[in-house]
Structure formats: structure tokens, C-alpha cells
């Protein structure tokens, strides 16, 4: 009889742990589906002087580029998040169709692009594909847009 009760307690403890881990994962993502570290990007300083139109085949629309931190000399510091909003005609300003994100962790950029799907952003592309083109801007810390 005792043994059965103990086994049940262990199961409850494991379920609680799994639930706690789930909460942590959800907390890192905002309600709109973008990672929390992009929150408020539209009020960060812009790297572009005017909205960027046309340009690369990878990102087409009217674009603005926002950086959470300033360059320290040539390089952006660790923890910098750079967001490019890509809007199509008719998009609400707070809800551009696509959002491309670079985030510097331990000296290296991480790359993810999101696309609006209904009312939430989901991952469109990431990683090596992005690097293959941004290589061309390597001398500028992999960032094309300059003021
Ligand atoms: C075919 C080339 C190409 C590919 C592939 C590409 N980009 Fe870009 N990206 C650009 C260009 C060019 C710019 C400069 C602004 C513009 O013209 O849109 C840019 C700008 C950006 C910016 C703003 C900072 C900057 O460099 O100016 C971010 C953030 C970004 N891209 C993220 C991504 C991510 C994430 C991916 C992969 C999912 C990606 N890019 C794939 C060409 C590319």
C-alpha cells in the first residue's frame, strides 16, 4: 500500500517540473510570437536614415532597421539585437509582414526571420541561408545598413 502512494508522489513531482519548464519557454516569447528580446524594437535607434525600398531579393518591402545597442568602434557589442521590419502596402505599422532578427551571442550573430501568420509571427528562415548573403557585409560586422 505504502509503495503505491510513493510512486504517485513521484509522478506528481515530475509533472510539476515539466509544467515549470513550459512556463519558462513561453515567457521568452511575446504574445505576438516574436522573441521577448525584440520587445519595443520600434523605439530603438534606427540604422537607416530613410526607409529602405526594393533592395535584396531576400527581403522585399519597405524596410527599417533598428539596433538595441550602439557599435563600440567597428563592432556591435554582445547582446545587441538588430531588427529589420519589412512592411508591405497596407500593413499596420506595429505589424509588419516580416521581421528579420540578428542577435549577437558570444561574439557571433544568430539569425532568424519571422513572418506574420494570422495574428502571430512564425519562423520563416534562419541560420546558414542568412549568413551566405550577409557574408558580403562581413567587413561591417555582417551588417549591410549604415547611417
Ligand atoms: C540574398 C541576400 C540576403 C539574404 C539571404 C538575407 N539577407 Fe538580410 N539583408 C540583406 C540586405 C541587402 C540587407 C540590407 C537592407 C536591405 O536592403 O534590405 C539586409 C538586412 C538585414 C538586417 C538588418 C541589418 C543589416 O544587415 O542591414 C537583418 C536583421 C537581416 N538582414 C536579417 C536576415 C536574416 C535573419 C536572414 C535569413 C533568414 C537574412 N537576413 C537573409 C540581404 C540578405
Burial 127-141 (b: 16+ CB within 10 A, else e): eeebeeebeeeeeeb
Mean pLDDT, 10 residues at a time, the chain of 147 residues:
53 49 59 95 96 77 96 96 95 93 98 96 97 97 92
Q: What is the DSSP letter of 116?
A: E
Q: Is the CB of 131 under 6 A from ligand 1?
A: no
Chain centroid to CA 32: how far?
Answer: 12
Does the beta carbon of 102 lie inside 6 Å of ligand 1? yes
Instruction: List pLDDT tens digits, range 86-108.
Output: 999 899 989 999 999 999 999 99
The total number of residues written for the chain in this structure:
147
Cell digits for 69? 545597442
Q: Which atom of ligand 1 is nearest to the CA of 56?
A: 12
Listed by start position, the domains of the chain span 1-30, 34-140
Residue of 66, 84, 74, 55 whose CA lies nearest to 139: 74
Q: 60 CB contacts (<8 Å, ≥6 apart)? A: 54, 86
What is the position in ligand 1's atom list of the atom closest to the CA of 48?
A: 27
Amino acid at each position: 500500500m505504502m509503495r503505491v502512494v510513493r510512486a504517485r508522489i513521484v509522478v506528481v513531482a515530475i509533472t510539476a517540473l515539466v509544467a515549470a519548464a513550459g512556463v519558462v519557454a513561453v515567457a521568452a516569447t511575446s504574445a505576438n510570437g516574436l522573441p521577448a528580446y525584440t520587445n519595443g524594437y520600434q523605439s530603438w535607434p534606427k540604422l537607416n536614415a530613410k526607409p529602405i525600398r526594393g533592395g535584396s531579393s531576400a527581403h522585399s518591402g519597405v524596410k527599417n532597421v533598428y539596433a538595441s545597442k550602439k557599435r563600440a568602434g567597428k563592432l556591435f557589442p554582445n547582446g545587441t539585437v538588430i531588427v529589420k521590419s519589412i512592411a508591405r502596402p497596407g500593413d499596420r505599422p506595429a505589424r509588419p509582414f516580416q521581421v528579420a532578427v540578428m542577435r549577437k551571442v558570444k561574439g557571433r550573430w544568430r539569425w532568424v526571420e519571422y513572418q506574420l501568420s494570422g495574428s502571430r509571427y512564425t519562423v520563416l528562415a534562419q541560420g546558414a541561408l542568412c549568413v551566405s548573403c550577409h557574408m558580403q557585409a562581413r567587413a561591417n560586422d555582417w551588417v549591410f545598413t549604415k547611417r
